[in-house]
Amino acid sequence: MERDGKYIYCIIASDYDSNFGPIGIGDRGDLVTTIGFDGLCMVVSDHSLSDIEVNPKNILSHQKVIEEVMKEFNSILPLRFGNIAATPDEIRNLLSGRYREFMELLRTYENMVEINVKCTWKNIDTNFKEIEQENTAFKSIKQDIKKEQDLNKKNKKRAEVGKMLQEELHKKNKNEAESMMNVFKKATFDFRQNRTTSDAMFFNTAFLMNSGREKEIDNIISDIGEEYKDSIDFSYTGPMPIFSFIELRIFPEKWETL
C-alpha cells in the first residue's frame, strides 16, 4: 500500500496547532490540521502520494477547506489545487527556507478577500438589432442584399454583415466593461480580468478587497442591477480565497507551480 503524504491547502500565520475537522479532500474523512515552523503554518490533510484526480468535486473540496480556514484566520495564502508533500519535514523545510517571503505576503494580504463579478446581456439579439438601427451602413448593405440576384454575392454580403455585427458588438462590450470596471474599482484595491465564455458575457473580473466591505459591493450590485435590470444579468461570487492575486512557486521542483 502506498504511504500517505500531506496534501496542502494554504499558508497561515499561527503560533498554535489547529484542527479544522474531518473535511480533507478525497472523501476519506481525513482531519485538516496544520504543520508549522516558528509561527508560520501550512494547512494540510493526509492523502496518497499518487497524483490527485482533477475533477470538480475535488477542486470544490480544496476550496471549501480554505474557506473554512478563512472563518478563523484573516490572512491566508491559498495554494493551487494538487500540491502534496512527501513528509511533514519537507513542509517545515520549505517554511524555514522561505519564511521571510511568506510572512511578508501574509502581511501584504492581511484581511483581503477576492470577489468575482460577471455581466451578461439578457438578450444579445436585442443588442444586434440596436446596432443595426444605429448604424446606417447596415441599412445600406441590407438593402443591397435584398436587391442582389447572384446567390454567391448575396451570401458574401450576408457574411460581411455578420462580421460587422460582431465587430460592433465587441466595441459595445468593451465600452460597457470599462464602465463596470470604473464602478467596482472605487471599492476595491486590484483586479484581474478573466476570460469571458460567450458573446453575451462581456465582463468577468476578479477584484481584491478588504474583508468586511461586502455590504458595499452588495449595494453597488443592487444599484447597477436596478439601473440595467432590463438588459444585463449580474453574477457576484464571494468572498473567496485570493487565488487570482497570489503567484507562488514552491519547491522542490516536483511540486506544481501555484
Cα–Cα dist 27/61, whole Å: 9
Q: Over 80: is that where the pLDDT of 21 sits?
A: yes
Residues 227-249 have pLDDT tens digits of: 888 889 998 888 889 999 987 76
Residues 62-109 have pLDDT tens digits of: 999 999 999 999 899 999 888 888 889 999 999 998 999 999 999 999
DSSP state letter for 109? T
Domain spans in the chain, listed from the N-terminal domain onward: 4-109, 114-241
Q: What are the distances in angstroms from CA 147 to CA 132, 153, 154?
A: 18, 11, 9
Give me the pLDDT at residue 14, please.
92
Give me the pLDDT at residue 48, please.
86
Residues 22-50 have pLDDT tens digits of: 999 988 889 999 999 999 999 999 988 87
Grid coordinates representing 108 are 501584504
- Chain centroid to CA 112: 15
Nearest to 186 by CA among 212, 213, 225, 226: 213
Cα–Cα dist 188/205, whole Å: 12
- Whether the full predicted model's pTM is greater than 0.75, yes or no, is yes
Nearest to 103 by CA among 39, 160, 183, 146: 39
Q: Over 80: is that where the pLDDT of 157 sits?
A: no
Cα–Cα dist 199/223, whole Å: 24
- Chain centroid to CA 35: 27
Spatial strand order in the sheet of 232-240: 190-193, 201-210, 112-121, 232-240
Angle at 43 between CA 37 and CA 44, to 5 degrees: 110
Nearest to 114 by CA among 202, 244, 11: 244
DSSP state letter for 243? G
Residues 160-218 have pLDDT tens digits of: 767 777 787 788 888 889 988 998 888 898 999 998 888 789 899 999 999 888 888 88
